Each structure stands twice: as structure tokens, then as C-alpha cells.
Amino acid sequence: MNKAIAVCGKGGVGKTTIAALMCKLLLEHNNIKGLAIDADPGAGLSQATSLPIKKTVNDLREEIIACSQERTADPSNLAASIDYQLMESLTEHQNLAFLAVGRPEEDGCYCQVNTFLREAIQMLVSHFDYTIIDAEAGIEQLNRRVMERIDFLMLVSDLSAKGLHVAKTIRDVGAKNIKDHAVGLVLNRVKEEKEVSRIEQSIDLPLLGWIPEDQNVNDFDCNAKSFLHFPEAPALQASRSIFARLPE
């Protein structure tokens, strides 16, 4: 199936939490080969899942640059081996592989890392049934076409007008920069269910699902517990019905 799902939205709306819960759900399906990509240089998904980082996309980029500067390798061989090196950079945990983008030392390198990440996503997606990408907040990575290979844009928002506005902006940028894809809105931190139908009726985005405010999420966050061990609590149950509605 080789489906790639990007979890996008405004800062702080719950992208990493939801991506981590999707990782937990992937682990429940051991017949599915899953890949999680932490595309946020802040490495929140690595923390939320306690999945260690073996080698980041940025580490690999720097190694390749160093090799080509030292002329220790034939550039054509180098290009051919990137796919192999990417696979070697993955952390493996049961049926789930994990890769983090990492953070360049110099500010100016972010766009180069994003370009490399776009190529890495292109290469890796075909090796896995499902790829879940925890994107950086906002529209930058969509603008830079980092997500151009994805099949599904999961737009996460809390119930705020700002969060919903950013979700719609991301939908619009995605429409320009991603070829064939579907979108779905996930409302997070819902306190009253009636809010969901109010928003669903007033917004021109298809609703994929909603996740309630769940004290367990705060507990896991504050105490740095791995979301791969999240209990059968409301946030996980709601995530399960969202997971079931992802494209096959």
C-alpha cells in the first residue's frame, strides 16, 4: 500500500501527540510495516515515543557533503548508496522503523536539510506500508515541497479560530504543492462533543475525527513517558477510529 501521512498544523495543537499515538497503533498491527519520521528539528517524536535516534537525516547530509569535499568517494557511487545509507540510519522497533530529521548547527542550512528530507521521504516511502510524518509547525515544509510524496494530509487543530485558520492555509498550500492527496481534519483537545459538530458544519474541510482532552496525555508529557505505552484511555480510543479511517 505504501501510504504516507503527514501530520500538520499550527504550533502546539497536538501533532506530535497524535503522531506518537499513530505509532502505538502501528505497533498493534504487526503485519504492517511502519515508518515514523520526525520531520521537526526539535525531535519531539523521538521524545514522545522514546525511540532513540541512530543517525539523523542531517547527520547523513553532512557525511555526504564531507565525503564529496574530500573526494574520497565517486559521486555516482555515493548517489547510488544513499538509499542504502538511509535504511541503515533507521532505528528499528518491532514492525516500526524510525528516522529523525535532526538539526543543523548553522541556521542557513535548514532549507538544505529540508531538500534532503524531501528526497529521503521519496526514497523511503516505497519500502513501508505506512509512513507517519510528524511535520514542523506551519507551512514551511509544505512550501518547500518536503511533503510532495505524501498521500494524506492530516490537519490537526485545536478548537481555536487560529488553529483552524492555519489548518485551512496548510490545505491550500498542500493543494498547490502536492499532486494526488486527500486531506482530513482532526480536532484535538475537545472538551464538549457539540463543539465538533458546530465546527464541522462551519468549515470547508472534511472531518477525519476528533480527540478529547485527556489528562493521560499531560501525564505522559510531563513525566516523559513513552506514548508507545499509552493506556486504553479516551485519546487512544479516539485515535484508533482515526487510524481505521486512514487511506489503505
Residue ranges that bind ligand ATP, judged by CB under 6 A: 9, 11-17, 40, 44, 137, 188-189, 211, 213-214, 217-218, 221, 235
Question: Grid coordinates 499531560 are at which residue?
Answer: 218
CB of 154 to ligand ATP, least distance (A): 12
Q: In degrees, to the nearest 5, what angle opens at C-alpha 169 toward C-alphas 165 and 174?
A: 145
Q: Which is nearer to Mg ion, 16 or 131 (CB)?
A: 16
Which segment (30-38, 39-47, 183-191, 227-235) binds Mg ion by CB under 5 A?
39-47
Burial class (CB within 10 angstroms; exposed 0-12, middle 13-18, buried 19+) of 216: middle
Cα 124 from Cα 35, distance rounded (Å) = 9
CB of 178 to ligand ATP, least distance (A): 20
Q: Which is nearer to ligand ATP, 41 or 104 (CB)?
A: 41
Q: Which does 102 bind (CB under 5 to 8 A by kind): Mg ion, ligand ATP, none?
A: none
Q: Which is nearer to Mg ion, 15 or 181 (CB)?
A: 15
The reply on whether position 9 binds Mg ion by CB under 5 A is no
Q: In degrees, to the nearest 5, what angle opens at C-alpha 90 toward C-alphas 84 and 94?
A: 120
Residue 40 φ/ψ region, left for φ over 0, alpha for ψ in the -120 to 50 degree band, beta for the rest: beta
Q: In degrees, to the nearest 5, what angle opens at C-alpha 190 toward C-alphas 130 and 219?
A: 75
Q: Which of 4, 5, 10, 16 binds Mg ion (CB under 5 A)?
A: 16
For Mg ion, the binding residues (CB under 5 A) are: 15-16, 44
